[in-house]
Amino acid sequence: MFFVDTIEVSGLGNRSYIAGGERTAVAVDPPRDVDQVIAAAARRGVRISHVVETHVHNDYVTGGLELARLTGAAYLVPAGARVFFARVPVHDGDRTEIDTATGLTLRALATPGHTPHHTSYVLEENGTAVAVFTGGSLLIGTVGRPDLVEPRLTEHLARAQHASAHRLAAELPDDTAVLPTHGFGSFCSSSQAEGSDTTIGKEKASNEALIRDVDDFVADLLAGLDDIPAYYTHMGPANAAGPAPVDLTPPSVADAEEIAARLAAGEWVVDLRNRVAFAAGHLSGSFNFEAEGQLATYLAWLIPWGKPLTLLAESPEQLAAAQRELVRVGIDRPAAAATGDPGCWVRQGEASASFPRATFADLAGRHPAEGLVALDVRRASERAGGYIEGSVHIPVHLLHRSLDEVPAGEVWVHCAGGMRAAIAASLLEAAGREVVAVDDSFDAAEKAGLTVRNS
C-alpha cells in the first residue's frame, strides 16, 4: 500500500505532498519550514529518500535543498531549470524508484507552461498511475499562470499550458488523482476554482484548458491575469541560488523605547492582532497585518524589500506562527519583536491610537457627502465586477506609494471583506489621515442602498 499526505500551506494558497510506501517516501514542492515535512514522514515511519521540485517557484522560497541536506535525500529538479547548486537533473520520461516493497515509482512528464521547464510527476504503483503531482500545470478547474517568468514568453507559455494539460489528460487514466501545488488561493493560479480534490476524469469534464480550443482558452487566460505580488521578483532568484536554512528562534525583545526609535527611523512596525483589536487601540504609526489573514502574501507584497521589521503580537505563539509564515516568502529575521498589548508598546505618558470601524450601511448613510472619500482598495479585477459610484480606487498593494493620491477628507476605506481595508486604514492613519475602516462584505454594499456600477 502507498500513501499520499498533504501538507497545507494555507497562508500562501499552496500544498506540498509526501508520498511513499512501507519504508521510504518522496517530498514534493516542500515549503521552506521543512520541520513539518520531516514530522509527517516520522508519523508514517518512513525515510524521505527523494525530494522533487516541479519547477523553480516564483511565489515562495522552497525548502527542497535544505530538506535534501537534512535527510540525505536525492534532490530532483527539472533539467531545464537554471540553478546554482548540485541536484539530480530530471528529464521527460525519467523514472525514479521511491519504495521497492510497494512497487512505487515516479515518472517525469514535461509540462511546460507555468515555467518553460515545468515538470509533473506521475506516481505509479506497480506500473499503474495512481496520482500525478502537477505543481503549477493542471490545477483544479484551471492552470497555473504563464506570466511570471518573462513578459515576452507569456503567450507562448499560455499555449504550452493548454498543450501540457492535454498531454496529462491523454496519457493518464481518468481515475488518476490530480495533486497540484497551486490553486487554493495562490496568486500563481490563473484563476480561482472551487473544490479541494480532483481527478483527470473530472478535469476532462470541467477544466477550461481541456474543454476549450487553444485560441479561445489563451485569449481568456491572458485577459484574466491578475496583479503579480511585488515580492515574487525575489523568489525565483532565491530558489535558483539555493535558499539558506531557516532560523525560527524568537527575535530580540524590544521595549517601548526601542519600538519608538525604530518607528522614528522609518522602519516598519507591524501589529499582528486581529483588525477589531487593532482599530480599538494600537501603537501610533504601526501597521495592521492580521496573523490570521494572508499575512505572508500581503506583508511581503507591501513592505519595501529588505526594510527592517518589528512584529507586535498578542502572544509568543502568534509571533512564532507569523515568523514561520514569513520565512516562506524570504522575510527571514524580524529586527525585533514584542508581545502583549498596546499598553506594553506605548511609551509612558503617551496614548494609544484608534479609529472607527463601520459597515456598508453606515457608509450608505453618509455617502456621497462633502469631505468624505470612499476608497476602494480591491484589485482592478475585483472592481471590474462592481464598484461604489463615486469611490476612489487605489489597490492596497499600491497604496503605500500612492498616499498623496487620496483626496482630502475623511477616508472610508473598504475592500471585499475587511482585512485589506484594515491594512489600508492603518497605512493611512500612520500618514496622518482621518480614517474609517469598513469591515463588511462587499456583497452588502448594494443591499445597504449604495449605488454599485459595473465597469
Inter-CA distances, 342 with 201, 315, 319, 335, 339, Å: 54, 13, 15, 19, 9
Lookup result for grid cell 479609529 = 355
Give the side-chain half-sphere CA count within 13 A for 33. Answer: 20
- Say how far apart CA 364 and CA 446 lie, in whole Å: 9
The H or E element that residue 295 is part of is helix 295-302
Segment 136-163 shows an average pLDDT of 96
Is the pLDDT at 10 greater than 70? The verdict is yes
The residues pairing with 270 across neighbouring beta strands, listed in sequence order, are 287, 311
* E strands, 53-155, in order: 74-78, 88-90, 95-99, 104-110, 119-125, 128-135
Sorted by sequence, the CB contacts under 8 Å of residue 223 that are 6+ apart come out as none
Q: How is residue 184 written as a grid cell?
A: 487554493
| pLDDT tens, position by position, 56-90 | 999 999 999 999 999 999 999 999 999 999 999 99
Q: How is residue 317 written as a grid cell?
A: 505563539
In percent, how much of the chain has pLDDT > 70?
A: 99
Mapping DSSP onto H, E and C, the string for 131-155 reads EEEEECCECCCCEECCCCCCHHHHH
Closest CA to 85 of 214, 237, 264: 237
Is the pLDDT at 401 greater than 90? The verdict is yes
Burial of 191 (C-beta count, 10 Å sphere; 0-12/13-18/19+) = middle
Give the model's pLDDT for residue 194. 65
Report residue 18 CA to chain centroid gap: 20
DSSP for residue 404: G
Is the pLDDT at 174 greater than 90? The verdict is yes
Are the C-beta atoms of 338 and 255 separated by less than 8 Å? yes
| pLDDT tens, position by position, 12-48 | 999 999 999 999 999 999 999 999 999 999 999 999 9
Q: Collapsing DSSP states into helix, strand and coil, what is residue 302?
A: helix
The residues pairing with 178 across neighbouring beta strands, listed in sequence order, are 132, 198
Burial of 348 (C-beta count, 10 Å sphere; 0-12/13-18/19+) = exposed
- φ, ψ of residue 201 to 5 degrees: the values are -60, -45
Give the model's pLDDT for residue 180. 97
Output the CA torsion sign for 341, 347, 350, 354: negative
pTM of the model as a whole: 0.94
Closest CA to 337 of 298, 309, 302: 309
Are the C-beta atoms of 388 and 445 separated by less than 8 Å? yes
Give the model's pLDDT for residue 455. 77
Give the model's pLDDT for residue 195. 73
Q: Pinpoint the alpha helices (H) of 116-254.
A: 154-171, 200-206, 208-211, 214-223, 232-241
Closest CA to 210 of 140, 116, 108: 140
Q: How is residue 5 written as a grid cell?
A: 499526505
| pLDDT tens, position by position, 273-322 | 999 999 999 999 999 999 998 999 999 999 999 999 999 999 999 999 99
Give the model's pLDDT for residue 190. 76
Segment 335-350 shows an average pLDDT of 96
Across the chain, what does the average pLDDT equal? Answer: 96
The H or E element that residue 262 is part of is helix 256-264
Sorted by sequence, the CB contacts under 8 Å of residue 55 that are 6+ apart come out as 78, 81, 114, 115, 117, 118, 119, 135, 136
Give the model's pLDDT for residue 152. 95
Other C-beta atoms closer than 10 Å to the C-beta of 316 total: 11
Segment 252-263 shows an average pLDDT of 98
Give the model's pLDDT for residue 371. 95
Give the model's pLDDT for residue 277. 98
Are the C-beta atoms of 29 and 133 separated by less than 8 Å? yes
- Say how far apart CA 347 and CA 243 lie, in whole Å: 39
Give the model's pLDDT for residue 192. 65
Q: What is the largest CA-CA distance in the chain?
A: 75
- Say how far apart CA 346 and CA 358 lie, in whole Å: 26
| pLDDT tens, position by position, 178-227 | 999 998 888 888 776 667 899 999 999 999 999 999 999 999 999 999 99
Give the model's pLDDT for residue 397. 97
| pLDDT tens, position by position, 98-146 | 999 999 999 999 999 999 999 999 999 999 999 999 999 999 999 999 9
